[in-house]
Amino acid sequence: MAGRQTIFRGAQIYDGSGEAPWMGDVEIAGERIISLTPPGGIAAATDAIEVDAAGLALAPGFIDAHTHDDRIVLDKPDMLPKISQGVTSVVVGNCGISLAPVTFEADPPAPMNLLGGREAYQFPRFAAYADALRQSAPAVNVAALIGHSALRLAAMRDVGRKANSAELAEMCALADAAMNEGATGFSTGLFYPTNAAADEDEVSTIAARFARQGGIYATHMRDEFDRVLDSIDETVRTANAANIPVVVSHHKCAGPANWGRTFETLPRLEAAAAQHRVNLDVYPYAAGSTNLRMDLVTSDYPIRISWSKPHPEMTGRELSSIAAEWGCDLHEAARRLDPAGAIYFQMDEADVRRVMSSRLAMIGSDGLPHDIHPHPRLWGTFPRVIGHYARDQKLFPVETAIHKMTGLTARVFNLADRGLLKPGAFADLVLFDPATIIDKATYDVPQALSLGIARVYVNGRLAFTPEQGVIARAGRLIGGRNNVHGE
């Protein structure tokens, strides 16, 4: 048997399937789970590490279905904002934005600058990114999507139009190579200027290449405001044409005029899911965050600055108060702050709850790890769903919350042997106190450790405790062909 055993005694076991918890013992050795039994079912062994889990819950490590952690897993591989929440795997490359396969001679355009400047983009092939990941050895596992904006900027001189056939062929070749080299799938950000000129044909042609190798498709849709239903229809048509499972990213109905419209969007998604593999991801907050964009600047909802290149001193402040101080209107203030990032309080809490409650919904933080004053979702998403929404607000049972961040996510992204506690699965584990688990990050103090996480294991290694911080960096590239050729 590979490696020393660890035996957890008397844990409340949430196995990730969505079933109710049960009391039991769990044994792991090497990288894998060996057995789960009723209490006392595992014999003591002289050199085994015994963990008294009385009063604690044991679950599969959480999988963050939607991240922009492409660079942070290389630059700050201890991944404290995520592993401290119990996250053991992250899906990177969302919203059409990925670090590979593209390089730049000047600073990259928005939204690619969410991951950094020109120096961040060093990976003309996905294989080079996979190598860098192996070198950096992050604390969490990484499943990687390839962004359509990255492909377009690699293959096209002018991304303001639809790709011609030569450019499309180049993007398809890059897609094939990336899947061969270990990517998990494809993402678009049709809302963004670097991606918006792509039509359904362009998207589905590329998505079909990912589909051929078992990939998945995630999309930040063209419109999450007035035309959100049209965007859902476009998403479903595109995914159908490409014959690829699809995830609607950070589903929302944005802007006060659209509040309440999840009563329309969720049934539309459910109907599509009856015909085709459709899921969605969602973060547990009524504010979104991205670049500061003129078309999102409005007095309809508060806007907070998360970073600004020309005016870093305004970080964390409200746009309206900056405009008042400068004696100008909101748009002029935004122009002066640009390039910048912002937090937009553009959603209705009731919509957020309905989306989270959908059986199609996985939890994804969408955290932005390079922001100076980030949206609190970066540090708080997972404990917030369990502690605030499931335990305190009783929006759904705790086992449902955990399923949405483990078993469901592993199934949707085809992450083999992850997301469930069962013999033979990888020992990605989180031990937490179900009575106290809660997020502490807020819009005012966005970088704060959550409470109630006791121990986190990645690939069988103890990786985090609140007392010791990050102990081990045992993460690796997962998903795609890594499922077959892993280790």
List Cβ neighbours of 306 (8 Å cut-off, separation of 6 or more). Answer: 289, 315, 316, 340, 341, 342, 343, 368, 371, 372, 373, 374, 375
* CB of 95 or CB of 361, closer to Zn ion: 95
Least distance in Å: CB of 366 to Zn ion?
A: 6
R_g over Cα of the chain: 22
Within 8 A by CB and 6+ apart from 228, the residues are 221, 253, 254, 258, 261, 265
The residue written with tokens 């200027």 in the block is 193
* CB 153 to Zn ion: min, Å: 17
Of 195 and 414, which CB lies nearer to Zn ion in the complex structure? 195
Q: Closest distance between Zn ion and the C-beta of residue 219, in Å?
A: 9
Chain residues in the site for Zn ion (CB under 5 A): 95, 220
Nearer residue to Zn ion within complex by CB, 220 or 418: 220
Task: Give DSSP secondary structure letters for 236-277.
Answer: HHHHHHHT--EEETT----SGGGTTTHHHHHHHHHHHHTTS-
For 119, residues 6+ apart whose C-beta sits below 8 A from its C-beta are none
CB of 340 to Zn ion, least distance (A): 17
Distance of CA 187 to the CA centre of its chain: 12
Would you tell me how many other CB atoms lie within 10 Å of the CB of residue 253? 26
316 vs 367: CA distance, rounded Å: 16
Q: Which is nearer to Zn ion, 72 or 95 (CB)?
A: 95
Q: Is the dihedral of CA 31, 37, 38, 42 positive or negative?
A: negative
Q: Are 428 and 463 in contact (CB under 8 A)?
A: no
306 or 459: whose CB is closer to Zn ion?
306
Phi then psi dihedrals of residue 477, to 5 deg: -70, 130
Q: Taking the complex as a whole, how short is the minimal distance between the CB of residue 149 and Zn ion, in angstroms?
A: 11
Q: Which is nearer to Zn ion, 220 or 411 (CB)?
A: 220
The CB-of-327 to Zn ion minimum distance in angstroms stands at 34
Q: Which is nearer to Zn ion, 191 or 426 (CB)?
A: 191
Encoded tokens for 289: 């965050």
- Provide the minimum distance between the beta carbon of 462 and Zn ion in the complex, in angstroms, as a whole number: 33
Nearest distance from residue 375's CB to Zn ion, in Å? 12
Q: For Zn ion, which is the closer residue by CB, 248 or 390?
A: 248
Q: Do residues 20 and 13 make contact, with C-beta atoms less than 8 angstroms apart?
A: no
